[in-house]
Chains A and B, each alone.
Chain A
């Protein structure tokens, strides 16, 4: 019995080592795949983005025209003018995010000097206002005003994207 056991020992060692290598390999491969899948969810692109790697190339793109195309876009509303009466606490101005949108919008209505009249929460697609409640009243006169549109991803952090300003003339009668 002992002799038989001695004869089988090298075979057992080989089998066990093979099993160890296979288990290690499979575990490592699974961990590698899992880590690779989690990465995109953890990091998000922003307005203008890039990534540095340590490989070098000549900088010439593979695209036929020598560059890659920007694939995204958001249409921003613009206005020539809006009116309200002195003492009004609201302004008729349509600010919204139509249903076909894929990003969120935060709209800030303000005067050119930076005085904020209204700031919206994140407007999801399909949400918007036609009459804006104001933080303050304005005296009679002509004002340079603007709507600052911040595009954001619809994630928990509302990751910012590029932004736009639409300038308009505000008449207070």
Chain B
């Protein structure tokens, strides 16, 4: 009889132990990195008249894990991106006098608005957001503070900040996005932890020189 009681007691202890581990595990997974979306895609388009082209844009740019610095000092994290003029057709395109111009802005930015900077916002609470910078060239993290970014100036056009001109098929440009993790310094990690996202809007148009 005593033995039965002991077995019952021990099994109950096992169940409680499992429940505690389960809660711990759930808590731990909140800090697990999420899956990364990696997509490569191509879209072709044409009209029966004029010039047609296709530009490859980055649909996802992932900063990965951001970390909160323990001191209030610059701590840049960067990720590179690239654009490419995949295709250009039309006999009347003259690279001497014409180019395909590309502009970029944050999807929520308004020209001449109060705030035209680029942001990633917390998916659960969009009021929590952090700014990042866009460079039209590849920049090493150690050089970030010394090189001017696209969004340092004012955005005077609806199209966005000028990014690059394309003149010929196969032409590529590469640049860097940079986020200063010092923005996270001093914030309650419980408030800001989570997943963040933002959207870039690329604008292309044929312009005359």
Is A105's beta carbon under 8 Å from chain B? yes
Complex Cα spacing A85 to B29, Å: 59
Cβ contact within 8 Å between A73 and B35: no
Whether A77 contacts B69 in the complex (CB less than 8 A), given A67-B79, A72-B37, A167-B203, comes out as no
Residue in B closest to A33 when the chains form the complex, CB atoms = B25
Cβ contact within 8 Å between B43 and A44: no
Cβ contact within 8 Å between A24 and B17: yes
Is A12's beta carbon under 8 Å from chain B? yes
A-side interface residues, number (CB < 8 Å): 86
Residues of A within 8 A of B118 (CB): 48
Closest chain A CB from B132 CB (angstroms): 7
Residue in A closest to B1 when the chains form the complex, CB atoms = A5
Cβ contact within 8 Å between B26 and A35: yes
Is B55's beta carbon under 8 Å from chain A? yes
Residues of B within 8 A of A70 (CB): 58, 60-62, 79-82
Is A121's beta carbon under 8 Å from chain B? no
Cβ contact within 8 Å between B33 and A51: yes
Whether A76 contacts B184 in the complex (CB less than 8 A), given A36-B32, A50-B64, comes out as no
Complex Cα spacing A53 to B30, Å: 10
Complex Cα spacing A16 to B10, Å: 6
Cβ contact within 8 Å between A73 and B197: no
Cβ contact within 8 Å between A43 and B34: yes
Residues of B within 8 A of A161 (CB): 37, 39, 59-60, 199
Q: How large is the interface on B (under 10, 10 to 19, 20 to 34, 35 or more residues)?
A: 35 or more
- Residue-wise, chain A 143-162 has the 8 Å CB interface mask toward B (1 for contact) of 00000010101000000111
Cβ contact within 8 Å between B44 and A96: yes
Is B48's beta carbon under 8 Å from chain A? yes
Complex Cα spacing A71 to B60, Å: 8
Cβ contact within 8 Å between A52 and B42: no
Whether A49 contacts B82 in the complex (CB less than 8 A), given A20-B13, A74-B43, A151-B59, comes out as no
Q: From DSSP, what is the main secondary structure of chain B's interface residues? A: mixed
Complex Cα spacing A87 to B28, Å: 62
- Residue-wise, chain B 168-209 has the 8 Å CB interface mask toward A (1 for contact) of 000000001101010010000100111111111111111000
Cβ contact within 8 Å between B60 and A49: yes
Query: Which of A27, A73, A105, A165 contacts B18, CB < 8 Å?
Result: A27
Complex Cα spacing A167 to B205, Å: 5
Query: Which of B57, B140, B181 contacts A67, CB < 8 Å?
Result: B140
Cβ contact within 8 Å between B43 and A98: yes
Closest chain B CB from A78 CB (angstroms): 5
Cβ contact within 8 Å between B63 and A48: yes
Complex Cα spacing A103 to B58, Å: 12
Residues of A within 8 A of B3 (CB): 5, 9, 12
Complex Cα spacing A6 to B165, Å: 90
Cβ contact within 8 Å between B61 and A48: yes
Cβ contact within 8 Å between A20 and B11: yes
Cβ contact within 8 Å between B200 and A47: yes
User: Which of B61-79 touch A at CB < 8 Å?
Assistant: 61-70, 74-79
Residue in B closest to A161 when the chains form the complex, CB atoms = B59
Residue in B closest to A65 when the chains form the complex, CB atoms = B140
Residues of B within 8 A of A13 (CB): 6, 10
Cβ contact within 8 Å between B59 and A101: no
- Most central of A16, A40, A50, A161 by chain B CB within 10 Å: A50
Which 4 pairs from chain A and chain B are nearest by CB?
A77-B45, A28-B21, A40-B35, A24-B17
What are 6 A-B pairs at a CB distance below 8 A? A9-B2, A20-B14, A43-B34, A50-B63, A72-B38, A79-B51
